[in-house]
Amino acid sequence: MSFPLLTVTAAVPAAGALATAAVPAARRAAAKWTALVFSLATLVLAGVQLARFDPDAAGPFQLTESHAWISDFGVRYELGVDGIGVVLVALTALLVPFVVLAGWHDADPLEPATPSRRWRPTQGFFALILMVEAMVVISFEATDVFVFYVFFEAMLIPMYFLIGGFGDRAGERTEDEAAAQRSYAAVKFLLYNLAGGLVMLAAVVGLYAVTADQLGHGTFSLTEIVQARGSGRLHFATVTERALFLGFFFAFAVKAPLWPVHTWLPNAMGEATAPVAVLITAVVDKVGTFAMLRFCLQLFPGASTWATPVIVVLALISILYGALLAVGQRDIKRLIAYASISHFGFIILGIFAMTTQGQGGATLYMVNHGISTAALMLVAGFLISRRGSRLIADYGGVQKVAPVLAGTFLVAGLATLSLPGLAPFVSEFLVLVGTFSRYPVAGAVATVGIVLAALYVLVLYQRTMTGPVEESVRAMPDLRVRELAVVAPLIALLLFLGVYPKPVTRILDPAVEHTMSQVHRTDPQPDVRVSNAEGAK
Amino acid sequence: MENLIGLLVLVPLAGAGALLCGGRRLDRGGPWLGTLAAAVSFALGVVLFADMLGKGGEERTLDVTVFQWVPVGSFRADVGFHLDQLSMTFVLLITGVGSLIHLYSIGYMAHDERRRRFFGYLNLFLAAMLLLVLADNYLLLYVGWEGVGLASYLLIGFWQHKPSAATAAKKAFLVNRVGDMGMSIAIMLMFTTFGTFAFGPVLTAADRAGEGRLTAIALLLLLAACGKSAQVPLQSWLGDAMEGPTPVSALIHAATMVTAGVYLVTRSGAVFEGAPDAQTAVVTVGAVTLLFGAIVGCAKDDIKKALAGSTMSQIGYMILAAGLGPVGYVFAIMHLVTHGFFKAGLFLGAGSVMHGMNDEVDMRRYGGLRKYMPVTFVTFGLGYLAIIGFPGLSGFFSKDKIIEAAFAKGGTEGWILGGAALLGAAITAYYMTRVMIMTFFGEERWRPAPSPDEPSAEPAAGDRAGGMPHPHESPRTMTIPMIVLALGSVFAGGLFSVNDAFLKWLEPVTGHEEGNSPLGALTVTAATMAVLVLGVALAWAQYGRRPVPATAPPGSALTRAARRDLLQDDFNHVVLVRGGEHLTRSLVYLDHKLVDGVVNGTAASVGGLSGRMRRLQNGYVRSYAVSMFGGAAVLIAATLLMRAV
């Protein structure tokens, strides 16, 4: 038996969570370092995955593992990665160390902790982060629908405690008010995702029922179902396929989130600390869009095509609505949350455009959005921690007192508005062009999003960073070494992937082509044939 | 030679990287380092130019593919360069004028504590602008296009502590983004039409795409050009952009970046030629803007804003010429180059005047400066003569050709366009004479410098605040670039016209046709001279013979409208800003009340869980169990349903 690399990649952060939780109460620093070391070990394992992954190999999944689990119900512990999975595992493993480092002081007790206290916030905070990482990683690796479902739902539990248990300094609010709002946000997050999950559970059971009926044995194995469908042994009635598709899609749309089931995100990202907000939008939410590609499209290609027009419209609404709402926000973190809703609209639009460029762009978008939002949100978090307020109006003239902070904020903001030369431009343009080649009107309308993005980013920058120096920010220190160590690598990555995205697209593309072939769609052809000779002129 | 092209872009980019990330160590040497990067880039340009001259007219093109940038399926974008006579012209203009303005900035920005960053941004601009003109496909061009937009944003807002500067910077970026939308969609349309967006294949296959498709692409490109080149209806940002330091106004908002739209139209010639309706749109935009800018230029008392109106108007001439097709391309680019010399010179002169006058920008507070600033006076004066088209100077050759080409369009259209161009020439002579007289002649109408608390002051004002200005000539680093540009303003047009040298140089790339003007060349020249004299005389009568009041008279309705940029800003404010605010505010409200409410309500009523929901929202997680129960019920029902189906 070969080395179970995928299992280990998920097991290491899980073990790290236990180890961090076990650190004695008084030794907070030791807990932080434990968490950091385990998250870095996970990053190394993700690197090994990338190195051992062969983009050109035949077959959909690599590094596969398969064991019987609950044989009565045909549940198998099956893992495997395609190009999209392996890249998203790497993104997760890359971002978590930054999340840990950025949140270094977020869970320090406000007053010196009394040794007798049982509750250990610092240990808990970092253990929960690693727990989320473990569950996200295994969700990206699972090729058994049931295994995926279990972890897809289970990650709600640590997330719930991260959102409800830790927050920014209260600012102008009283501690009680802040706690009440946090708990509201956490419950809203839980309810929305639980509702989605339950609908999905029904569909998962339904899928089992259909396979049991037609194959003689129930199965949740993605590979087996896809094969059986390809060979004609498994056939979904149209109504069944659509119902099952909707069950899956609803859960993923809540998680992604797509308009109109998006409203939990601004609350959750607003109330959580900035590193947790990054965990939500850059890591956890990606499971939703990832699962659309992996499960919705591959299990139910017919229904996916059937639902496309509606989903494209919902995605367009998300893009414009999210951006307009971002323009109207007065709270920095909520603004970034609405911007993310707009960006998730682009990702979903790209997936359902059903073109190589659209899906290739959407998968690349997941990576780039993860990095750019992490950079923007974390710098915003550093800013907020200095002043103790999330309100845009409480800032002004920061660039004069903290030029490095302002500079990194601007670069992260420019990435968010997809400035050419930075990574998100490539993916956004691919999504647009991929959409345009199938749905010209939708592609053109989505382009309005680039104007709105410039508006919310530049207005945010202008109001917080420029103008006369506000009295309250006069003594604000510039970025510290730890903070710079978080931001600088992210910005370097944004620049690198903006100029040379090929290392990532090379891994993603074969997987995208595979998905396209699953849904039996080919790219539209250009109207005018241009010969190579003319191209060479 | 191929490697040199990449280096041309890379050198200023490396300069920008070093200056922006280099930290305090580079504070002292930064300005010289930045200037050196610009000069090296210019030297590389000259080497490439010499190499190009050594080859025959048709073999002068150099193509280099550096690496594959975005390869996804059939979508291929390369980082590749295309150097021909057209891009060469721009390379020399950008790096030449760019180097001079770097040099000028050493003196101009000497007192600014953030000057290292200023030179970093200037280098970034050079790199992006060179990328724009050297790219061999539209997507890479777009990178340069937005790159210069970024540099422009950073430099307009360079004095960020001034709210007006920060607002102007944001406005410029946003208006340009509207144009960029056009560029984005144009590239997408090229991809779906041709399967590629590289210049070579698109432009050779353009004639097979059908007129409708070409018209759409051309109009989208025109929208992009309107944004970048400040043409009606996207011109409103240029006047505000004068908030930036004056060298920036000279380099970016006069000589180079704002002419990118002319480059785009000329480069995409094959697309426009296949779309006559789009060409009509181009010439209309050009003609309207050349009058619009000129009228605005007449009413401004701020010397930089008067010059900004003039820039808009002169670019209108270029766009008009480019819209005429092969009859006009060469003259559009020729005017672009000569304008690069004299307008950059005029702006640098204005900067020199401000430098000596406590950063005063109101021309009503100037007067009689020729005695105190002789070099500035002479160089500015030569630029003035060049722009109004004084016989023998640069502007005379290039503008005259455009007016002639406009008449040659033929029919009623030709008369309208030619007439507009002639009228524009008259107004140009009027407003430039007005600037000249108010600044250098007449009595001294100076006033004490604004106090340092007033945030409008440019940086040097701090030292001398409070006293009356003591106008003085600027230091050598500032006067040398002014002298060089003045020489260009005097001689460039003439040199280009000897043996039609410029025409022969560009023709292999852009093509050229002689127009059939209903009026002879001499008639056009005579008419141009007549309107020139008229304009100068009118300005002389109004401002030269009578003392200039220190505060502006109320003026006619037209004057008042022109002072407010012909009310475009008011329109934008009412329709876009106010309307947008209402829209976003009501959406924020609705998102909270309606979307949230409906989703919550649906969830509650569907599950019949509304009571438990409320308790859950109070934070009792034990209701988790209840919702699990509800979920299980849904699940069983669904399973039964599936069985039934």
Which of A165-174, A452-461, B596-605 has the lowest average pLDDT? Answer: B596-605
Q: Any idea which of A170-179, A369-378, B274-283, B293-302 has the lowest mean pLDDT? A: A170-179
Judge whether residue B605 has pLDDT over 60. Answer: no
Residue B472 has a pLDDT of 84
- What letter does residue B469 receive in the DSSP assignment? P
Instruction: Find which of B138, B642, B643, B645 to mutate to test the A interface (most A CBs within 10 Å of its CB).
Output: B642
Closest chain B residue by Cα to residue A524:
B192
What is the distance between the alpha carbons of residues B281 and B286, in angstroms, rounded to a whole number? Answer: 9
pLDDT for B602 equals 60
Please say if the pLDDT value at position B622 is more than 80.
Answer: no
What's residue B618's pLDDT? 47
What is the C-alpha separation between B39 and B133, in angstroms, rounded? 18
Cα angle A321, A413, A269; round to 5? 55
With 50 as the cut, is the pLDDT of residue B460 above it? no
* Mean pLDDT computed over B346-363: 88
pLDDT at position A168 over 80:
no
CB-CB neighbours of B574 under 10 Å: 11
Give residue B619's pLDDT.
46
How far from chain centre, in Å, is Cα B48? 26
Query: CB distance from B71 to chain A under 8 Å?
Result: yes
Angstrom distance (rounded) from CA A147 to CA A466: 50
**Residues of B (554-613) whose Cβ lies below 8 Å from A:** 580, 583-585, 587-588, 591, 595-596, 598-599, 603, 607, 613
Alpha-carbon dihedral A243, A246, A251, A254, rounded to 10 degrees: -150
Q: How confident is the model at residue A107 (pLDDT cuts 50, 70, 90)?
A: confident
pTM of the prediction?
0.90
Task: Out of A80-89, A103-112, B286-295, pick the least confident.
Answer: A103-112
Whether A120 shows a pLDDT value over 60: the answer reads: no
Determine, for residues A534 and B201 on separate chains, whether the beta-carbon distance falls below 8 Å. Answer: yes
> 122-141 in B: which are within 8 Å (CB) of A?
139
Inter-chain contact A357–B585, Cβ cutoff 8 Å?
no
pLDDT at B30 over 70: yes
pLDDT score recorded for residue B581: 79
Q: Do A210 and B642 touch (CB under 8 A)?
A: yes
Cα separations in angstroms, A225 against A77, A210, B261, B398 = 15, 10, 55, 72
Show residues of chain A in contact with B201, CB under 8 Å: 530, 534-535, 537
| Pairs of CB atoms within 8 A across A/B | 238
Do residue B192 and residue A524 have CB atoms under 8 angstroms apart?
A: yes
Chain B 151-170, residues with CB within 8 Å of chain A CB atoms = 153, 157, 160-163, 165-167, 169-170
Contacts of B153 in chain A (CB under 8 A): 458
What chain B residue is nearest to A265 in terms of C-alpha separation?
B596
Query: CA A413 to CA A491: how far, in whole Å?
Result: 11
Gap from A140 CA to chain B (nearest CA, Å):
23
Residues on chain B touching A328 (C-beta within 8 angstroms): 584-585, 587-588
Name the residue with higher pLDDT: B615 or A159: A159
**Which of B180, B200, B205 has its CB closest to that of A450?**
B180
DSSP H or E stretch at residue A81: strand A75-81
Locate the chain A residue with the closest alpha carbon to B158: A466
Q: Which residue of chain B has the CA closest to A527?
A: B193
φ and ψ of B70, to 5 deg: -125, 95
Residue A212 in this model has a pLDDT that exceeds 90: no
Is pLDDT above 80 for B311? yes
Half-sphere CA count of A118, side-chain side, radius 13 A: 0
Cα gap B628→A195, rounded to integer Å? 9
Q: What is the CA radius of gyration of chain B?
A: 28
Q: So what's the pLDDT on residue B639? A: 52
pLDDT, mean over chain B: 85
pLDDT higher than threshold 60 for residue B144:
yes
ipTM of the predicted structure? 0.89
pLDDT tens per residue, range A444-487:
999 999 999 999 999 999 999 988 888 888 888 888 899 999 99
Give A529's pLDDT tier (boundaries 50, 70, 90): confident
By residue count, chain B amounts to: 645
| Mean local confidence (pLDDT), B204-217 | 89
Task: Search chain A and give the residue with CA nearest B65.
Answer: A536
To the nearest 10 degrees (0 to 180), the angle between helices B211-228 and B138-156 is 20
pLDDT at B357: 85
pLDDT band for position A74 (cuts 50, 70, 90): confident
Candidate from B69, B163, B205 with C-beta closest to A528 = B205
What is chain A's mean pLDDT, rounded? 88
Q: Do A328 and B146 touch (CB under 8 A)?
A: no
Instruction: Give me the numbers of helices (H) and strands (E) for chain A, helices first please.
Output: 23, 2
User: Would you say residue B457 has pLDDT above 70?
Assistant: no
**Within the 187-246 window of chain B, which residues sit less than 8 Å (CB to CB) from chain A?**
187-189, 191-196, 198, 200-202, 204-205, 208-209, 213
List pLDDT tens digits, range A235-250: 888 888 888 999 999 9
For residue A132, give the nearest of A242, A56, A35, A198 by alpha carbon: A35
User: From A182, which residue of chain B is nearest by alpha-carbon distance?
Assistant: B619
Using DSSP's 3-state secondary structure scheme, residue B137 falls into strand
Residue A212 distance to chain B (closest CA, Å): 11
Confidence bin at B640 (pLDDT 50/70/90): low
**DSSP state letters, A301-353:** HHHHHHHHHHHHHHHHHHHHHHHHHHHT-SBHHHHHHHHHHHHHHHHHHHHHH
Contact with chain A for residue B69, Cβ under 8 A: yes
Residue-wise pLDDT tens digits, B222-274: 999 999 999 988 888 888 889 889 999 988 888 899 999 999 999 999 999 99
Cβ separation A466–B584 shorter than 8 A: no
Q: What is the percent of chain B with per-residue pLDDT over 90, rounded to a whole number?
A: 43
Identify the CA nearest to A437 among candidates B253, B192, B336.
B192
Instruction: Compare all CA atoms of chain B with the CA of A470 and give the residue at the minimum distance.
Output: B161
Question: Dihedral sign, CA of A458, A460, A463, A464?
Answer: negative
Task: Tell me which chain A residues have a C-beta less than 8 angstroms from the C-beta of B69.
Answer: 499-502
From chain B, pick out residues whose CB is under 8 angstroms from the CB of A418: none
- Write the Ramachandran bin of A480: left for phi over 0, alpha for psi from -120 to 50, otherwise beta: beta
Asked if A360's CB is within 8 angstroms of B191's CB, the reply is: no
Binning pLDDT at 50, 70 and 90, where does residue B453 land? Answer: very low
Report the gap between the CA of B189 and the closest CA in chain A (Å).
8
Residue pair B311/B254 in contact by the 8 Å Cβ criterion: yes
Query: β-strand B62-72 against A75-81: which pairing, if any?
Result: unpaired
Contact criterion met (CB < 8 Å) for B635 and A261? no
Chain B residue with minimal CA distance to A262?
B596
- Segment B310-331 shows an average pLDDT of 92
For the stretch B555-584, pLDDT in tens is 777 878 877 777 777 777 777 777 777 887
For A436, the closest of B169, B188, B194 (CB atoms) is: B188
Percentage of residues in chain B having pLDDT higher than 70: 89
Residues of A in contact with B193 (CB under 8 A): 526-528
Does residue B13 carry a pLDDT above 70?
A: yes
Instruction: Note if the bond before A257 is cis, omega within 30 degrees.
Output: yes
